[in-house]
Homo-oligomer: A and B are copies of this chain.
């Protein structure tokens, strides 16, 4: 079963509120995540919100990394979507742990773009969910 890419969906709770409200920390976390996953950065942008909260997005040659943070909840929503055999989005997890210091991380991995034959039309994407 072929797939176009792997999409990791991460829920980070109990994060360091100062870190997940910091533009430089978000930038470093994204940059290091991309390197860890062996992906190629095309564009990185970070948007501060008022009064708090940050959105960071990296466009990759292999899809994207997206981070939205709610420091008031100690919460960060992270997506790491990569294509290609050379990339491994699961390598994002220790990097995000280092920068955001979450008490709890929930991970779901989806296969995106599953290429199936006609007989199997109706299948939905493969999903694996876990708490770590």
Which A residues fall within an 8 A CB radius of B? Answer: 4-5, 7, 9, 11, 42-43, 45, 47, 49, 55, 57, 59, 61, 63-64, 66, 68, 70, 73, 75, 77, 79, 81, 104, 106, 108, 110, 112-115, 121-122, 124-125, 127, 129-131
Contacts and interface: CB of A to CB of B under 8 A. Distances in A.
Contact of A57 (B11, B57, B77): B57
A64 B55 contact: yes
A59 B55 contact: yes
A20 to B, nearest CB: 13
Contact of A131 (B43, B114, B115, B122): B122
B4 A112 contact: no
Contact of A43 (B47, B66, B130): B47
A2 to B, nearest CB: 10
Nearest to A2: B73
A79 B65 CA distance: 12
Nearest to A113: B75
A77 B124 contact: no
Contact of A11 (B55, B73, B125): B125
